[in-house]
């Protein structure tokens, strides 16, 4: 692999501190994540569930050996759309030091292609209403904001 070439691959346990650092490193994430050394064991427990489920893929973007982006791809069986598979993307982050360089776009395009290969007829995500930059970013990729994303905390 030549220098300065971005590579996408499945995450390993060893990537988790880098992933949690990126998840925690924004206004919303800082309220709900705990990035410390070591990271809480619950992150590893979540990772094991993802790793053991072929319908979940935790993906990282790597540049010169460093993890600089992440997202979580889910393949969801469904009855609706004539029993068609949906793809869903959660927890998208690019390291702040590498933002606005097209890395997020490449990571999303790579993932959309992967979703297509897995047979998904649609790819969906939700993004907080306050993340206006993210809305434009996803619209440029071809997403349409057709839905409201509604959430309820159970804690």
Residues near its own copies (CB under 8 A) are: 16, 19-20, 23, 29, 32-34, 40, 42-47, 49-50, 53, 55-56, 58, 72, 74, 76-87, 90-91, 112, 115-116, 120-129, 135, 138-139, 141-155
Q: Which is nearer to its own copies, 55 or 101 (CB)?
A: 55
- Closest C-alpha to 127, from 84, 77, 93: 93
In the complex, least distance from residue 109 CB atom to its own copies, rounded to whole angstroms: 11
Peptide bond into 38 cis (omega under 30): yes
Q: Which is nearer to its own copies, 84 or 106 (CB)?
A: 84
Element (H, E) at 134: helix 132-141
In the complex, least distance from residue 5 CB atom to its own copies, rounded to whole angstroms: 25
**DSSP assignment, residue 78?**
-
**DSSP assignment, residue 77?**
-
In the complex, least distance from residue 81 CB atom to its own copies, rounded to whole angstroms: 5
Q: Which is nearer to its own copies, 64 or 128 (CB)?
A: 128
How many whole angstroms separate alpha carbon 65 and alpha carbon 68?
9
Element (H, E) at 73: strand 66-76
In the complex, least distance from residue 2 CB atom to its own copies, rounded to whole angstroms: 30
């Amino acid at each position: 692999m030549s220098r300065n070439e971005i590579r996408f691959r499945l995450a390993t346990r060893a990537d988790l501190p880098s992933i949690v650092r990126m998840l925690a490193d924004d206004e919303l994430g800082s309220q709900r994540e705990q990035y410390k050394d070591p990271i809480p064991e619950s992150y590893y427990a979540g990772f094991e569930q993802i790793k053991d489920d072929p319908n979940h893929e935790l993906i990282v973007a790597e540049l010169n050996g460093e993890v600089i982006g992440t997202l979580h791809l889910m393949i969801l069986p469904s009855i609706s759309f004539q029993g068609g598979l949906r793809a869903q993307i959660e927890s998208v982050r690019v390291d702040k030091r590498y933002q606005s360089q097209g890395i997020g776009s490449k990571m999303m395009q790579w993932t959309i292609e992967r979703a297509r290969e897995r047979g998904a007829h649609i790819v969906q995500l939700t993004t907080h209403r306050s993340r206006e930059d993210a809305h434009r970013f996803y619209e440029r990729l071809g997403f349409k904001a057709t839905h409201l994303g509604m959430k309820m905390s159970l804690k």
